[in-house]
């Protein structure tokens, strides 16, 4: 009877609270024919669907993960887990330490070329009256390398966690407009004494977002010669619960006690010291998931009249989240629509600076040539 229970729950929808979080590859539905049965694809599909539709599955997955956290200080038995438990109960994504490896030589020429292309793009956009700005977002593990547990350090040594230090001299040499958020936040650390990443989040928090947005506003004000809203950021107490985005990794752990990674997010207060003297510009920004926080900040600060977000150079999102966007491969971008913005920004994380633009830069240069 006990082992039959999971099968008996197949017809009961899995409650939302129990559902496992995170994105997995969808299970391909095979055609029901002799060929597929002989190949075993129908059977594999039935087994996989049985598992995913059973209430027992999320209960068991969460239980196993809970055992791992409590007994072994790890999140999953799986060596390919995308989330790792770091020191002091902080979470981070394994991809941030998977590359570049310590022993791999750095291809300096590649970074030179990136800076050259960015400079050329900036120049071409300037000719068209569009301001260009590169924003480099920080990586949680690069900002707080002590988060990495001992067993993931190679011979006890620090891994190379960023290539931004290689790129920056070339950006300066080519006079590319950029905001170095990691450096900015490092300098602000002592002022705030609050981490810029939540224990249970992979992205920068509201305080970091505010500081970087303030710097973006300052830079654009100078570059565009417009009077954009400028403000300072301060912290006044704490919110009662984590802000949106501060628990994204914690939810992905799929454990019963995900609240162990919760924190009370800092209550960020903006103080405007210069108002907008002219019409707010229109922004087109190509970037990663770190751009979501910037979009929230841009909206609160009323920095731009319109924000079009080109998510990983794959989907254009004008309002709402990723699912609300429309898929647009980089080769099919409407360049007139892109040029019809006052500011073009690119956001890239310091851990993967070499993939800045995700193909957008080359396409843009080609279209503008």
Partner 1 sequence: MVFSSFFFLFFFLPFSLFSYHLTPNRFKNYSLLALSILFYAWGAPQVIHYVLLSCLADFHIGRQLTRSVSKRKLLLAIGLILNLGLLFYFKYANFFLTQINLLVGSFGASPLEWQGVVLPIGISFFTFHKISYLVDVYRGTAEPAVSIGDYFLYILFFPQLIAGPIIRYHDINEQLRKRALPVDEYFYGVFRFCTGLAKKVLIADPLGAVADTIFKMSPETLPVRYAWLGILSYSFQIYFDFSGYSDMALGLARFFGFRIVENFNRPYLSRNFTEFWRRWHISLSNFMREYLYISLGGNRGSTARTYLNLWIVFLASGLWHGAAWNFIAWGIFHGTFLAVDKCCWLKISSRVPKVLNIALTFFMVTMGWVFFRADTLTHAVQLLKILFCLNDAPYDMPLAAGYVIHFRAQVVFVLAWVLTFYPDDLMKIDRLKISFPRLVTFAQGAAAITLFFLSSAALASAGYTPFLYFRF
- Interaction of residue 13 with partner 1, rule CB under 8 A: no
Nearer to partner 1, 166 or 252 (CB): 252
Residue 317: enclosing H or E segment and its boundaries? strand 315-317
Beta-carbon count within 10 A of 92 CB: 25
- Which residues from 246-265 bind partner 1, rule CB under 8 A? 248-249, 252, 254
CB 176 within 8 A of CB 116: no
**In the 8-state DSSP scheme, what is residue 315?**
E
**In the 8-state DSSP scheme, what is residue 354?**
G
CB 254 within 8 A of CB 65: yes
Residue 346: enclosing H or E segment and its boundaries? strand 343-349
Shortest Cβ 37–partner 1 spacing (Å): 6
Q: 3-class DSSP state for residue 333? A: coil
- Interaction of residue 61 with partner 1, rule CB under 8 A: yes
Interface residue with partner 1 among 89, 302, 322, 362 (CB under 8 A) is 322
Interface residue with partner 1 among 18, 102, 113, 222 (CB under 8 A) is 102
* Angle at which helices 206-224 and 291-301 cross, to 10°: 70
Beta-carbon count within 10 A of 146 CB: 11
Shortest Cβ 7–partner 1 spacing (Å): 5
Interface residue with partner 1 among 149, 296, 339, 352 (CB under 8 A) is 149
Nearer to partner 1, 64 or 221 (CB): 64
Interface residue with partner 1 among 31, 103, 190, 332 (CB under 8 A) is 103
- Interaction of residue 27 with partner 1, rule CB under 8 A: no
- Interaction of residue 93 with partner 1, rule CB under 8 A: yes
- Interaction of residue 6 with partner 1, rule CB under 8 A: yes
Nearer to partner 1, 1 or 28 (CB): 1
Assess whether the previous peptide bond of 59 is cis (omega < 30° from 0). no
Interface residue with partner 1 among 12, 32, 33, 50 (CB under 8 A) is 50
> How is residue 155 written in tokens?
């011979």
Interface residue with partner 1 among 72, 189, 227, 302 (CB under 8 A) is 72
Backbone angles phi, psi at 131, to 5 degrees: -90, 135
Q: 3-class DSSP state for residue 180? A: strand
- Which residues from 268-297 bind partner 1, rule CB under 8 A? 289
- Alpha carbon dihedral 362, 329, 135, 242, in 10-degree steps, equals -160
Nearer to partner 1, 292 or 341 (CB): 292
Which residues sit at the interface with partner 1, rule CB under 8 A?
1, 3-7, 20-24, 37-38, 40, 43, 46-47, 50-51, 54, 56-57, 60-61, 63-65, 67-68, 71-74, 76-84, 93, 102-103, 149, 151-155, 157, 202, 248-249, 252, 254, 289, 312, 314, 322
């Amino acid at each position: 009877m006990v082992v039959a229970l999971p099968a008996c729950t197949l017809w009961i929808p899995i409650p939302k609270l129990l559902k496992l979080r995170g994105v997995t590859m969808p299970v391909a539905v095979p055609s029901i024919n002799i060929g597929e049965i002989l190949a075993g694809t129908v059977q594999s599909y039935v087994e996989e669907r049985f598992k995913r539709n059973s209430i027992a599955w999320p209960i068991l997955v969460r239980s196993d993960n809970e055992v791992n956290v409590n007994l072994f200080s790890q999140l999953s038995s799986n060596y390919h887990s995308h989330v790792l438990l770091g020191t002091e109960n902080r979470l981070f994504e394994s991809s941030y330490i998977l590359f570049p490896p310590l022993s791999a030589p750095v291809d300096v020429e590649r970074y030179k070329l990136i800076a050259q292309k960015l400079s050329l793009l900036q120049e071409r956009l300037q000719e068209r009256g569009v301001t260009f700005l590169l924003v480099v977002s920080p990586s949680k593990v690069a900002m707080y390398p002590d988060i990495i547990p001992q067993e993931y350090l190679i011979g006890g040594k620090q891994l190379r966690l960023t290539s931004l230090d290689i790129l920056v001299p070339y950006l300066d040499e080519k006079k590319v407009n950029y905001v170095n958020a990691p450096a900015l936040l490092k300098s602000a650390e002592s002022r705030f004494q609050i981490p810029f990443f939540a224990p249970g989040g992979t992205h920068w928090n509201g305080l970091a977002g505010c500081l970087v947005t303030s710097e973006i506003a300052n830079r654009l004000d100078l570059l565009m010669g417009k009077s954009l809203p400028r403000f300072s950021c301060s912290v006044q107490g704490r919110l009662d619960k984590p802000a949106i985005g501060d628990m994204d990794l914690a939810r992905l752990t799929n454990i019963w006690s995900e609240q162990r990674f919760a924190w009370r997010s800092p209550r960020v207060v903006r103080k405007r010291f210069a108002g907008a003297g002219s019409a707010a510009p229109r922004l087109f920004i190509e970037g990663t998931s770190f751009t979501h926080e910037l979009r929230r900040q841009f909206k609160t600060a009323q920095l731009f009249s319109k924000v079009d977000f080109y998510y990983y150079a794959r989907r254009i999102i004008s309002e709402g989240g990723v699912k609300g966007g429309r898929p647009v491969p980089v080769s099919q971008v409407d360049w007139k629509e892109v040029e019809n913005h006052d500011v073009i920004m690119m956001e890239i994380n310091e851990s993967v600076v070499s993939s800045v633009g995700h193909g957008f830069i080359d396409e843009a240069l080609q279209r503008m040539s």
